[in-house]
Amino acid sequence: MTDNTYSGSSLGKKRAAGILLHLTSLPGAWGIGDLGPEAEKFLNFLKASGQSCWQFLPVGPTRAIHGHSPYMSTSAFAGNPLLISPDNLLRDGWLKAEDITGKPDFYQYLVRFAEVSNCKEELFEKAFSRMQSLKKPPAAFISFCADNLWLDNYSLYAALSEKFTGRPWFTWPKDIARRNPGALKSITQELSSRISFHKFIQFLFAEQWREFKKKAQEKKIKLIGDVPIYVALDSADVWAHQDCFQLDPKTLRPDFVAGVPPDYFSETGQIWGNPLYQWGSAEQPNLQVVTWWQRRLQRLAELVDIIRIDHFRGFEAYWQIPAEAKTAAAGEWVKGPGTTLFDNLKTTLEDLPIIAEDLGTITPEVEQLKDDFGFAGMKVLQFAFDGNPENPYLPWNFTTTNTVVYSGTHDNETTLGWYLDKNVDERAKAQARQAANSNGNNIHLDFIRMAYASIAALAIIPMQDVLGFGSDCRMNHPGSIERNWAWRCAPRFITADISSMLQEMSGFYNR
């Protein structure tokens, strides 16, 4: 593919703008953003604001042990039950009014995951009981179970996780951990009710997502999803596809794990702990891994219109860290699958727009891999101001329209937080003011203007930067599990004035 071909068929020939806001950050009465009425209201807000894209973080199931990080999901295919809307369940008859009496008065500005999980799980049990009371399951549920090949493994994994009180799969009884066919058949019969429960919850998610996506399409809002390059060790994916991952055959645990070397976010790097893929070689790729990736991207394509691949550079070379290492600095670069993987995925990728997260330590080889397949790259304005006139993140240094520009991402400080941070060099702030021809009093608006004015085909602004919020509204602190992923936007901030401002700016800059 050439750059022009990809840009025309994916990001679109028309300059566009969008907002980054994870679904859990939406307002609403249930303690967490979900796929209910507030999601539709935000679609209306985007439409009225001249925006054409909504980007959010991965939407898979999360766990408390990982701080509910969407990047450490228990499945690369399943949906997060916490995103299911009780309001829509009530509307659709899966819940009755008496089921939601006594609902907790949730705190509105941060997600308290434990409280939200307990509340929603109770409601899901009631909805499932109502489904079981029917003479036969709905035809749509039966079709959903038949059409989704990943569902059997995921629902069995989820039921087993309950049975073994949340213990990771590699500590389960040996015959189950190693997927002995006889043991799996027996345990499937024993847990049939809980397996059906988890299938039903995924059906509810799928139904609500289908409605959500249809409304987005009607408003001509493209949904941008996020796919982490790695999956969690304790996940349905690793348990069900052990041959795809580098695991010690005796312990079923990895000898080496994923992470990144020392960088902008951490002086000692980050140990993520994910297992690494068993890629095979260029001459003999592991076709099981290729097939798994093919199905993963096909599943994402059912949910969204554009996919951002997190940590894209790991496909060219990945940072391999000994599992027992104290810091990520002990790791080393290992050659990744590169063109071999994407050549095998060409059919899947043909009509699937890809944004490659090419931030961090990027080599010419990574750039070449991205360009060879026509994937759009990323530019983050917070990385632009270091005094180097050749800094590639400076808007006037962008070399292609096949780019998505951000003021910051979910991993960054908010733009106002960055500007007020005493650890940020004052010369960087002065350079930012000079670039924007501004006094810095509305630095978040300055960054939006710089992003919108650039040649990038798409400009994405985190909602926190749209609103000019500070560091207390940051979404994630890389390398930490404290108070991450919890920020919510109160409804009073999503106003007609904000909408008018965005519409005027997107119109002025032809977005």
For residue 434, what pLDDT is reported? 97
3-class DSSP assignment, residue 252: coil
**Is 79:61 a contact under the CB 8 Å cutoff?**
yes
Close Cβ partners of 93 (under 8 Å, ≥ 6 residues apart): 130
Question: What does the angle CA 63 – CA 69 – CA 73 come to, to the nearest 5 degrees?
Answer: 60
255 labelled catalytic: no
Given the residues 38, 234, 357, 465, the one annotated as active site: 357
Backbone angles phi, psi at 402, to 5 degrees: -80, 60
DSSP string, 10-38: TT-SS-EEEEE--GGGS--TTSS--SSHH
Close Cβ partners of 10 (under 8 Å, ≥ 6 residues apart): 306, 352, 353, 354, 374, 376
Given the residues 34, 310, 358, 413, the one annotated as active site: 310
Chain position carrying tokens 């982490």: 228
User: Whole-model pTM?
Assistant: 0.95
For residue 357, what pLDDT is reported? 95
Q: Which domains does the chain have, with CATH numbers?
A: 3-508 (3.20.20.80)
Q: Distance between the two ends of the chain, CA-based, in angstroms?
A: 25
pLDDT tens column, 129-151: 999 999 999 999 999 999 999 99
Given the residues 411, 413, 446, 465, the one annotated as active site: 411
411 labelled catalytic: yes
357 labelled catalytic: yes
> How many Å apart are CA 268 and CA 266, to the nearest integer?
5
Percent of the chain topping pLDDT 70: 98
For residue 2, what pLDDT is reported? 36
Mean predicted lDDT score pLDDT of the chain: 94
For residue 103, what pLDDT is reported? 87
**Per-residue model confidence as pLDDT tens for the chain (511 residues):** 333 333 333 677 789 999 999 999 999 999 999 999 999 999 999 999 999 999 999 999 999 999 999 999 999 999 999 999 999 999 999 999 999 988 888 988 899 999 999 999 999 999 999 999 999 999 999 999 999 999 999 999 999 999 999 999 999 999 999 999 999 999 999 999 999 999 999 999 999 999 999 999 999 999 999 999 999 999 999 999 999 999 999 999 999 999 999 877 688 899 999 999 999 998 999 999 999 999 999 999 999 999 999 999 999 999 999 999 999 999 999 999 999 999 999 888 888 899 999 987 789 999 999 999 999 999 999 999 999 999 999 999 999 999 999 999 999 999 999 999 999 999 999 999 999 999 999 999 999 999 999 999 999 999 999 999 999 999 999 877 777 999 999 999 999 999 999 999 999 999 9
**Is 87:32 a contact under the CB 8 Å cutoff?**
no
For residue 10, what pLDDT is reported? 60
